[in-house]
């Protein structure tokens, strides 16, 4: 750390270097911190989390009870102990609340005045944050598993929606209507994701074990279908051609630069794909427990030198090195299955929500100073000495008493 600082002072290093090194260190020291709590509002499992990109201050959470909560993550109290307070809630008492489990929540990428939520009650609602009323409601024929707004789109404001129907719906916020349908999947679409690099590129994952990459400007078909065997026919039976997993694919995530795509499936595997070519990079992450029948929200770190993947794995969150597939650590803290996790890129904090109704904040541990430890030891030693003195005194007193009695 000091070395990095001096190098930075001397101007030897790129500013990015220090930043990367420090953020990597912080990610590696992520711990469940007793100083950081998140209000317990949800009475049921938490399905989705999203931290807004504008300020990095507000976090949305959608629960299985249909409740949507907005938290304030910023600690202005000046004390290390902080409980993330609830800013506002779309509770069960609200007239507009989702009837069933909220599956996905997402902030509008450019403004916290709007967010979008989709639910198993077959609707997707576009909310006004100020009034907490839906500005628009899209209704579908089946349960909505997932939706996504492009984080970088300038030329369009499309929401991709994956429902029980194999057709992917594209809803336009400008017109408030469903303008487009992408056909190609054969089962429900569990996850949809826009590329953070090209605004027209969309990846979708489906229960038919296929992952398709689309260019929404071309309606005729998908650009790519990811193949786990990279087209080697010998390894695949005829049916397994062009499948990404040997099971339902329920998780999708682009890396921060959009060059790679991560998928998880119910075959307990996670795969890393080159998003440009659709090639399986064959990174072996080992077994990634995944029993979810719904969408799994996982995330990738941002701004570290080797990037990390945070993926829910049973009741814990596994941290892998992205390119080597090495399991860095398991973050154990939840008491039931974890469904979603979200990385805060500014503070290198991780928020995870699970079926045990908890949202846990994983905060980097500050490096403890050595001086303090020493002083602690000194105090301890002193105490011991004092104790011994006291005992001796007591003994003497009792002896004296006895003598007096005689």
Applying CB under 8 A, which residues contact another protein? 32-34, 40, 315, 332-336, 355-358, 360
> Shortest approach of another protein to residue 40 CB, angstroms?
7
* Shortest Å distance, C-beta 32 to another protein: 5
Interatomic CA distance for residues 373 and 137, integer angstroms: 58
Smallest separation (angstroms) from another protein to the CB of 356: 5
Backbone angles phi and psi of 21, in degrees to 5: -60, -45
Nearer to another protein, 33 or 280 (CB): 33
Q: Measured from the CB atom, is 33 or 61 closer to another protein?
A: 33
Calculated CA dihedral for residues 150, 318, 275, 203, nearest 10 degrees: -40
Please name every residue paired with 74 in a beta bridge, in sequence order, or none if there are none.
none
Give the integer Cα–Cα distance in Å for 373 and 92: 49
Q: Which is nearer to another protein, 219 or 365 (CB)?
A: 365
Please give the C-alpha separations between residue 350 and each of 71, 77, 298, 345, in angstroms, as whole numbers.
Answer: 14, 21, 11, 9
Q: Are strands 36-38 and 82-90 parallel, antiparallel or unpaired?
A: parallel
Residue 84 beta carbon to another protein: minimum distance, rounded to whole angstroms: 14
Beta carbon nearer to another protein, 269 or 355: 355
Query: How far is it, in rounded angstroms, from Cα 180 to Cα 177?
Result: 9
Least Å distance between CB 65 and another protein?
13
> Per 3-state DSSP, what percentage of the chain is helix, strand, and coil (rounded to 5)?
15, 40, 45
If the CB atoms of residues 6 and 336 are measured against another protein, the closer one turns out to be 336
Walk across the sheet containing 338-344 and list its strands: 30-32, 359-364, 349-354, 338-344
Q: Which is nearer to another protein, 216 or 361 (CB)?
A: 361
Q: Find the shortest distance in angstroms from Cβ 264 to another protein.
A: 22
- Angle, helix 2-9 to helix 15-28, in steps of 10 degrees: 170
């Amino acid at each position: 750390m000091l070395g990095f600082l001096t190098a930075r002072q001397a101007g030897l290093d790129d500013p990015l270097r220090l930043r990367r090194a420090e953020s990597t260190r912080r990610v590696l020291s992520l711990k469940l911190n007793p100083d950081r709590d998140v209000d317990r509002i949800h009475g049921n499992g938490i399905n989705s989390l999203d931290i807004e990109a504008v300020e990095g201050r507000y976090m949305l959470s959608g629960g299985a009870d249909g409740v949507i909560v907005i938290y304030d993550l910023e600690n202005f109290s000046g004390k290390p102990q902080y409980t993330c307070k609830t800013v506002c809630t779309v509770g069960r008492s609200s007239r507009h609340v989702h009837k069933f489990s909220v599956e996905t929540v997402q902030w509008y990428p450019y403004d916290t005045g709007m967010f979008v939520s989709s639910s198993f009650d077959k609707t997707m609602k576009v909310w006004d944050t100020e009034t907490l009323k839906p500005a628009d409601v899209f209704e579908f024929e089946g349960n909505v598993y997932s939706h996504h707004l492009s984080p970088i789109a300038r030329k369009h404001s499309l929401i991709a929606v994956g429902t029980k129907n194999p057709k992917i719906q594209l809803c336009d916020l400008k017109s408030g209507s469903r303008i487009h349908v992408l056909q190609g999947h054969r089962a429900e679409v569990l996850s949809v994701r826009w590329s953070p690099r090209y605004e027209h590129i969309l990846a979708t994952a489906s229960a038919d074990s296929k992952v398709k990459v689309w260019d929404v400007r071309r309606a005729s078909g998908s650009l790519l279908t990811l193949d786990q065997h990279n087209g080697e026919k010998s390894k695949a039976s005829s049916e397994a051609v062009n499948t990404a997993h040997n099971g339902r694919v329920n998780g999708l995530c682009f890396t921060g630069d959009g060059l790679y795509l991560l998928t998880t499936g119910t075959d307990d595997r996670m795969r890393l794909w080159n998003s440009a070519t659709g090639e399986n990079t064959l990174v072996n992450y080992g077994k990634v427990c995944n029993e979810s029948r719904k969408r799994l929200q996982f995330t990738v770190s941002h701004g570290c030198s080797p990037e990390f993947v945070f993926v829910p794995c049973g009741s814990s969150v596994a941290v892998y090195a992205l390119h080597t597939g090495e399991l860095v650590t398991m973050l154990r803290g939840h008491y039931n299955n974890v469904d979603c996790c979200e990385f805060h890129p500014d503070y290198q904090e991780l928020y995870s929500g699970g079926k045990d109704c908890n949202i846990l904040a994983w905060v980097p541990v500050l490096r403890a100073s050595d001086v303090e430890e020493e002083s602690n030891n000194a105090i301890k030693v002193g105490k011991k000495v004092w104790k011994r003195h006291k005992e001796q005194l007591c003994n003497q007193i009792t002896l004296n008493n006895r003598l007096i009695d005689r």
